[in-house]
Structure 1
Amino acid sequence: MNKADVMQEYNEFERKLINSFNGAKESDSNLTKFVSKDRHGSYISFFNFDESRTESIVREQLAYFDERNLCFEWKTYSTDVPSNIGEVLLANGFKQEESESFMVLELAKAVDEPFDDLLITEVTDSKGIRDAIRVQEQVWGGDFEWQYHYLLNLKQYSPESVSIYVVYVDNLPVTSAWLTFNGSSPFAGIWGGSTVKEHRGKGFYSLLLNKRIAEAKSRGAKYLIIDASDMSKPIVAKRGFEVVAITTGYTSPSR
């Protein structure tokens, strides 16, 4: 895998061309951003500008979102320019989140692993999607209402763009994850991938991972991507995912 080429493809197909359900995409010569209809959920998707302009552009975006009373995330990759973006964001009051590994799997080289489809429920309606989000809320805490609205709108208006899966135990959702597709992009993305503490160690994460790898392959995607936490990284590495960059999110200061 030529990681530089993969990252360039990813920038073009995924960071510049984003789904805008439950919000709007806005782009100029400096960056691409998603502006959510909810207070949370907006983010800077792609950026590229001269280092001398970092301070002014960061302040422009703060003013833009402040005017709309919206919180937003500025997501960075270790391959991005300008390289001083992190320090400028911190100097302007952003909070740095934990870094994750942006990892890519070449699906043509992926080995099929068996999984029990009977343990997996694909959810498509508001109740099922709410169950998927309830798992995320229990695992991570915080406000996930924006994510619920995003997935619900995506499933309603572009159902082929997302597959959402839940594992239930005694009728309670204990694991959830989803798989996204973006038009003609060669990339599919796996997100969520979380299990409530009481049910970890039972193979549910790997179950949904194997399911999503199989689906992405069957639908003709070339690459599968994940932002892997330290907990997920060794699991997906065993399946052939390779680290292409380190990604770090910065959340805007509360106003």
Structure 2
Amino acid sequence: MVDTGALLAAYDAQMRLPTGAVPTGITHEYDGPVLRIVGGHVGRIRAPRDVGVTGAGLDRLIARQRDHFQARGQGVEWKVRAHDLPPELPERLVAAGFVPQEPSQVLIGFAEKVAAEPVLPAGVVLRRLAAFEDLRRFADLQTEVFGVDCSWVADDLAARVSADPDQLTVLAAQAGDRLVCAAFVDYCPGTDFAALLGGATLPDWRGRGLYRAMIAARAREAVARGFRLLHVDASPASAPILRRCGFHVITTSTHYQWAPEQPLSSGHE
């Protein structure tokens, strides 16, 4: 039996805050218990499991983050897990004008058990992407799959690769001259974890094992670099595949988003 409590404890201890090189143009600023990540496509807030404040103090902490990015003319997202404390954090975020997005399942897998030779359909090859033109094609694929503008992803990945080429591996399945599935793995220095991110498959290529092959390939990369655990924040479409590959659900995560066009609220009394 897998001790999911131990996996959750490892996640809370090691995966709450970003590790590794900070890309050029990005700054990390602490405001009390929370980390404010500034300079990206949107602002991001990361926090320990328990932010340690409640009531009016929590409202002020939330408002400061919102107002900081409002002054920059940017949106901001605050990532909350289902077991985070205090329990009132989600409602306080909503009262401050943040909008919850669709929850993701947080899954963890053992890299050595997941790693395998990727099995690809006939005529499909697996490629590593590093050149900016390929990263732009990666972003275009995500835009096509997700139906929102993901053009910023190319610059984001390029900046991260420039900061530390060994921290990311970007992979794509290519049929002819077309990228049909792509994803990347972020190796988290100083932790047991590699994070599987960005998976996207064209609709007419789904059901052919491409996403499963991408999981296997990224797990092999993680094992080769000495990482023991794999972490994914999975969509409802991806979570069943990951569970069949041996991943274990430990909690859920929800991004609470605020954008400049959203009305501001004074929050709770």
**Normalising to structure 1: TM-score of the pair?**
0.91
The answer to whether the Cα contact below 8 Å between 2:169 and 2:184 also exists between their aligned partners in 1 is yes
Matched, 1:60 2:64: yes
- Structure-1 separation of matches of 2:131 and 2:80: 33
Distance 1:43 1:154, change over 3 A: same
- Structure-1 separation of matches of 2:11 and 2:38: 21
- Structure-2 separation of matches of 1:143 and 1:86: 27
The residue type equivalent to 1:26 in the other structure is E
Helix, strand or coil for the counterpart of 2:15?
A: helix
Matched, 1:245 2:251: yes
Distance 1:28 1:4, change over 3 A: farther
User: What are the residue-to-residue correspondences of 1:84-233 with 2, within 5 Å?
Assistant: 84-108=88-112, 110-116=113-119, 119-233=125-239
- Larger mean CA deviation between 155-164 and 23-32 belongs to 23-32
The answer to whether the Cα contact below 8 Å between 2:27 and 2:38 also exists between their aligned partners in 1 is yes
The residue type equivalent to 2:117 in the other structure is P
Helix, strand or coil for the counterpart of 1:177?
A: strand
- The structure whose Rg is larger is 2
Deviations 1:207-243, CA, capped at 9 Å, x for gaps? 1111011111121102100011111111111121111
The answer to whether the Cα contact below 8 Å between 1:41 and 1:147 also exists between their aligned partners in 2 is no
- Structure-2 separation of matches of 1:191 and 1:248: 16
Helix, strand or coil for the counterpart of 1:249?
A: strand
Deviations 1:5-35, CA, capped at 9 Å, x for gaps? 4334334433224453241111243211211
Q: Which has the higher helix share?
A: 1
- Larger mean CA deviation between 182-191 and 50-59 belongs to 50-59
Deviations 1:20-76, CA, capped at 9 Å, x for gaps? 324111124321121124xx3321121412222221111111111111112111111
The residue type equivalent to 1:187 in the other structure is F
Helix, strand or coil for the counterpart of 1:227?
A: strand
The residue type equivalent to 1:31 in the other structure is V
Matched, 1:35 2:35: no
- Structure-1 separation of matches of 2:255 and 2:221: 28
- Structure-2 separation of matches of 1:34 and 1:188: 20
Distance 1:111 1:99, change over 3 A: closer
Distance 1:102 1:172, change over 3 A: same
Displaced runs of 4+ in structure 1, greater than 3 A?
1-9
Deviation of the 1:2 alpha carbon: 4.0
Distance 1:150 1:184, change over 3 A: same
- Structure-1 separation of matches of 2:4 and 2:47: 18
Deviations 1:108-166, CA, capped at 9 Å, x for gaps? 4x154332487211001101111111111111122323322221011122010000011
The number of residues matched between the two structures is 252
Which residues of structure 2 form unaligned runs of 5+? 262-269
Counterpart pick for 2:27 among 24, 28, 36: 24
Q: CA RMSD in A?
A: 1.9
Deviation of the 1:79 alpha carbon: 1.8
- Structure-2 separation of matches of 1:26 and 1:9: 24
Which residues of structure 1 form unaligned runs of 5+? none
Helix, strand or coil for the counterpart of 1:15?
A: coil
Distance 1:251 1:7, change over 3 A: same
Distance 1:194 1:116, change over 3 A: same
- Structure-1 separation of matches of 2:101 and 2:42: 15
The answer to whether the Cα contact below 8 Å between 2:115 and 2:223 also exists between their aligned partners in 1 is no
Identity over aligned residues, as a percent? 23
- Larger mean CA deviation between 185-194 and 18-27 belongs to 18-27
